[in-house]
Structure 1
Amino acid sequence: MESKIEVLSTVTINKTPDLYKIVDSLNRTLKDRDLMFGLALDQNDQEKAVFTIYRT
C-alpha cells in the first residue's frame, strides 16, 4: 500500500531559536488528524525557515 503525502501549505518565515518547539507540539497534538508539520532552512537564505503543513 502506497502512502501519499499532500502539501497543504508552505510559508517562509524568519528563523527563531524555539521555532522547532512549535512544530514538535503541532506534530504531537495533531498526528491523529492525519496532519504533519515540517520545518527546514531556506536554501537561499539561512536566516529564513520554511514551514510546511502536510496531510498524510
Structure 2
Amino acid sequence: MERDKGKLELIATQRVNANSEMYKVVDFLNKSLKNYHLMFGLTKKDESMVISIYEVE
C-alpha cells in the first residue's frame, strides 16, 4: 500500500514557557532540516508554547 505523499506524522511535542524568539528557532529548524523530511510547528496558548515535530512522508 502506498503512503499519501505530503502526509504529516506527529513525532513529538514539548510544552515550554512562551518566548518570542521561539518562532526564529522553528523557522531555522524548518529551513535546515527539510531535506530530512522533518517539519516543526509552534502554537501559543496563554503563557506557554507547544513545539511539535512532524515527519513529512
Question: When the two structures are superposed, what TM-score results if normalisation uses the length of structure 1?
Answer: 0.86
Q: Which residue of 2 aligns with 1:50?
A: 50
| CA drift at 1:14 | 0.3
Q: Name whichever structure is richer in strand by fraction.
A: 2
- Superposed CA RMSD in Å reads 1.3
Gaps of 5+ in 2: none
Number of residues of Structure 1 aligned to a counterpart in Structure 2: 53
Q: Which runs of 5+ in 1 are unaligned?
A: none
**TM-score of the two chains, using structure 2 as the length reference:** 0.85
